[in-house]
């Protein structure tokens, strides 16, 4: 597929140190640790201190990823920041990160695809490297979800956390390793099921929108759940089929972490046993664009992900956005 094969040259993540546990939430809203664990698999999430923004988390992950790739900030040609919580509507968080890390020769932009922002950014970045216009691309997934969560709404506030992950993409040194293929789709008919209604051009910020708490995440959980269960499995099947593969040939399934039940049903559909599925939602919650790099990082650190492994990354997010990327891991 690619003009030239593109590899993930390094990976790094960052989460803010402060924890928000289920026990903390029990004191804030009408919920229980048991309900949250059973329905979602989440035990705790990391939350920023006031004043810390997405670009701060993104820059931490980015600096470390560049170092691990054996590069300097000025070697980076392109920065893509996948996020749904930019520091500001503009300038882009990519511009803020570029300045913070001193990537003086890079251009870049933000990519809005909610929970699919990392899979989409990986695809866009790798296609630009594959085409030859860019050598080293920094792809970041970062979100400060706590900045748009209503901590009086028990249906959403138990779900999300803050975090960032970054990878450096470059032409593969070994043509067998790297990003092999992708499959993406969007379904805008689901836009109302998961959104932040106010603060954009449709409903600019006003006293009224603030009073009505419209600058927070609103979700119809069951609609999103059903869509995610069906479409995560389906898109993985399509990508496997096109590559003449079955789930049994995959070494690891690395899904967006929104709900343990969604991940396990998709894994089951493509025939992946539990021991090949990465689950770390218990420690981080749903960090939106950062879940997949955080899951990859855990898999590497625990020794479950090794050079040469064939892995499937997959996501479903607001929009709806759906993504799947097939990778032969090279680190």
Can you give the binding site for ligand UT7, defined by CB under 6 A? 31, 35-36, 39-40, 115, 154-155, 158, 194, 221-222, 224-225, 228, 258-259, 262, 286, 317
Positive or negative torsion for Cα 218, 223, 227, 229? positive
CA 130 from chain centre, in angstroms, equals 22
Q: What are phi and psi of 26, to 5 degrees?
A: -60, -30
**Residue of this chain nearest to ligand UT7 (CB atom):** 221
142 Cβ contact partners less than 8 Å away, ≥ 6 residues apart = 54, 55, 57, 58, 61, 81, 82, 83, 93, 163, 164, 165, 166, 289, 290
CA distance 154 to 26: 10
Give the shortest CB-115-to-ligand UT7 separation in angstroms: 4
Q: How far is the CB of 325 from ligand UT7 (least distance, A)?
A: 17
115 catalytic per annotation: yes
Nearer to ligand UT7, 195 or 270 (CB): 195
Catalytic residue among 22, 95, 115, 195: 115
Strand partners, 5: none
Find the catalytic residue in 95, 184, 236, 256: 256
Nearer to ligand UT7, 201 or 222 (CB): 222
HSE value, Cβ hemisphere, 13 Å, CA-based, for 27:
4
Residue 154: CB atoms within 10 A of its CB come to 16
Q: Position of tokens 């969007």?
A: 186
CB of 82 to ligand UT7, least distance (A): 13
256 part of the active site: yes
* C-beta of 115 vs 124, nearer to ligand UT7: 115
Tell me the closest approach of the beta carbon of residue 265 to ligand UT7, in angstroms: 11
| Residue with smaller CB distance to ligand UT7, 39 or 304 | 39
Q: Are strands 162-171 and 310-317 parallel, antiparallel or unpaired?
A: unpaired
Helix (H, G, I), strand (E, B) or coil at 283: helix
Backbone angles phi, psi at 138, to 5 degrees: -100, 115
Q: Phi/psi at 201 (nearest 5 deg)?
A: -75, -25
In the complex, least distance from residue 323 CB atom to ligand UT7, rounded to whole angstroms:
12
222 vs 244 by CB, closer to ligand UT7: 222
By annotation, the residues acting in catalysis are 115, 256, 286
């Amino acid at each position: 597929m690619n003009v030239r094969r593109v590899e993930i040259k390094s990976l790094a993540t960052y989460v803010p140190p402060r924890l928000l546990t289920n026990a903390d939430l029990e004191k804030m809203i009408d919920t229980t640790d048991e309900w949250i664990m059973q329905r979602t698999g989440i035990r705790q999430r990391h939350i920023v201190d006031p004043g810390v923004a997405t670009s701060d988390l993104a820059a931490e992950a980015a600096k470390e990823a560049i170092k691990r790739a054996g590069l300097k900030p000025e070697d980076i040609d392109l920065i893509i920041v996948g996020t749904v919580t930019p520091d500001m509507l503009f300038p882009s968080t990519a511009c803020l990160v570029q300045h913070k890390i001193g990537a003086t020769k890079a251009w870049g932009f933000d990519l809005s695809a909610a929970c699919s922002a990392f899979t989409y950014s990986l695809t866009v970045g790798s296609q630009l490297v594959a085409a030859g216009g860019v050598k080293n691309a920094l792809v970041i997934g970062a979100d400060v979800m706590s900045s748009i969560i209503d901590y009086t709404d028990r249906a959403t506030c138990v779900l999300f956390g803050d975090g960032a992950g970054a990878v450096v993409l470059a032409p593969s040194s070994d043509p067998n390793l790297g990003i092999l293929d992708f499959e993406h789709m969007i379904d805008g008919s689901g836009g109302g099921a998961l959104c932040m209604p106010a603060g954009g051009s449709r409903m600019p910020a006003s006293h009224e929108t603030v009073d009505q708490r419209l600058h927070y995440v609103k979700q119809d959980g069951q609609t999103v759940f059903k869509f995610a269960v069906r479409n995560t499995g389906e898109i993985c099947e399509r990508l496997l089929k096109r590559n003449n593969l079955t789930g049994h040939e995959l070494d690891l399934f690395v899904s967006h972490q929104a709900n343990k039940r969604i991940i396990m049903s998709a894994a089951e559909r493509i025939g992946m046993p539990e021991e090949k599925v990465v689950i770390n939602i218990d420690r981080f919650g749903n960090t939106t664009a950062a879940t997949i790099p955080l899951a990859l990082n855990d898999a590497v650190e625990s020794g479950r992900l090794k050079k040469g492994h064939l892995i499937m990354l997959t996501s479903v997010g607001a929009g709806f956005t759906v993504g799947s990327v097939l990778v032969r891991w090279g680190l």
